[in-house]
């Protein structure tokens, strides 16, 4: 009988909400009492440094390295992450053990009813190269400005008039119980790889923890996000590389769609396929290679494909 199980998390309201979701799922799966799952807040560099783009100060590892260290040291048993913040290549000794059922993958626009409704020259706050490129492709007149911080901070910037609008993940708003913004269709803005997914990492080789986490793993979410992360890995993308990818799984079949784009949105290379889940990993890698081959030298230069 497990007497204590420590879940590591960042301290933002959204991160805490996701950690509580994970704790509740574990308690329900294993019949734990309310005191078994303990949430441990770990301060990360990404939370502390808010005045610069993520890509300038170390990339996605800024959200994960302190949590990874706590796992390796045994201070926590698992770590809960927004999957789109997790590097495609995990630190040695860390494994991706489970994912919760995926939430809404779409974007919400805060500050206007639609992208078309934004005023000429509107200032859009975002730290995402993908979102900035997609916006500029649709509306070259829009001005994007770096905006980081938690959901409340970003929404407050719009409220105060410091920026005209921002884009936030619908999943995050829903998990916080925030009913705000206009939902952007996937056909208009393809999401980031792993958007809407919560993942749980653990120490490699810890069979007892792996077994506990397996009970809450949503297989379709895990497989879909793994394909999207495989696409990123095949591209050799970084935090500087504007990439969108979405896999949908139904009955063992996969529908996959992806885009790579220049930072100013003047070139977008898209691709897609439908296949069985068994064939999909190889097709993801082939699609990445084909899209880079078709891209201009300027677009190709944003990536460093493996091999």
SS3 annotation, 223-279:
HHHHHHHHHHHHHCCCCCCCEEEEEEEECCEEEEEEEEECCCCCCEEEEEEEEECCC
Annotated catalytic residue 77:
no
Nearest alpha-carbon partner for 115 in 187, 53, 58, 179: 187
The answer to whether 291 and 260 are in contact (CB under 8 A) is yes
pLDDT digits (tens, 9 = 90+) for 68-119: 999 999 999 999 999 988 988 899 999 999 999 999 999 999 999 999 999 9
Q: Which domains does the chain have, with CATH numbers?
A: 5-100+197-217 (3.40.190.10), 107-184 (3.40.190.10), 232-300 (3.30.160.40)
Which one is catalytic: 68, 77, 85, 220? 85
From 43-47, 55-59, 263-267, 294-298, the region with the lowest mean pLDDT: 55-59
Is the pTM higher than 0.75? yes
């Amino acid at each position: 009988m497990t007497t204590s199980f420590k879940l590591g998390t960042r301290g933002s309201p959204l991160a805490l909400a996701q950690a509580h979701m994970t704790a509740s799922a574990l308690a329900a799966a294993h019949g734990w009492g309310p005191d078994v799952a303990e949430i441990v807040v770990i301060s990360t560099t990404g939370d502390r440094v808010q005045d610069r783009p993520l890509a300038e100060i170390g990339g996605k590892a800024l959200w994960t390295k302190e949590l990874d260290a706590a796992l390796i040291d045994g201070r926590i048993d698992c770590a809960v992450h927004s999957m789109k913040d997790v590097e495609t290549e995990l630190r040695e000794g860390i494994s991706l053990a489970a994912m919760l059922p995926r939430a809404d993958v779409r974007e919400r626009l805060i500050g206007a009813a639609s992208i078309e409704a934004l005023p000429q020259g509107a200032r859009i706050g975002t730290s995402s190269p993908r979102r900035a490129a997609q916006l500029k492709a649709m509306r070259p007149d829009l001005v994007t400005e770096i905006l980081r911080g938690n959901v409340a901070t970003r929404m407050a910037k719009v409220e105060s008039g410091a920026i005209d609008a921002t884009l936030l993940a619908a999943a995050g708003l829903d998990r916080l119980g925030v009913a705000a913004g206009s939902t952007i269709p996937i056909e208009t803005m393809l999401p980031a790889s792993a958007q809407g997914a919560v993942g749980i990492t653990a120490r490699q080789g810890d069979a007892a923890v792996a077994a506990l986490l397996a009970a809450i793993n949503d297989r379709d979410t895990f497989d879909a996000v793994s394909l999207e992360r495989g696409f990123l890995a095949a591209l050799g993308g970084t935090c500087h590389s504007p990439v969108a990818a979405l896999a949908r799984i139904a009955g063992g079949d996969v529908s996959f769609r992806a885009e790579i784009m220049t930072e100013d949105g003047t070139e977008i290379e898209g691709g897609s396929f439908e296949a069985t889940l068994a064939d999909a990993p190889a097709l993801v890698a082939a699609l990445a290679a084909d899209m880079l081959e078709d891209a201009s030298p300027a677009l190709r230069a944003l990536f460093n494909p493996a091999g």
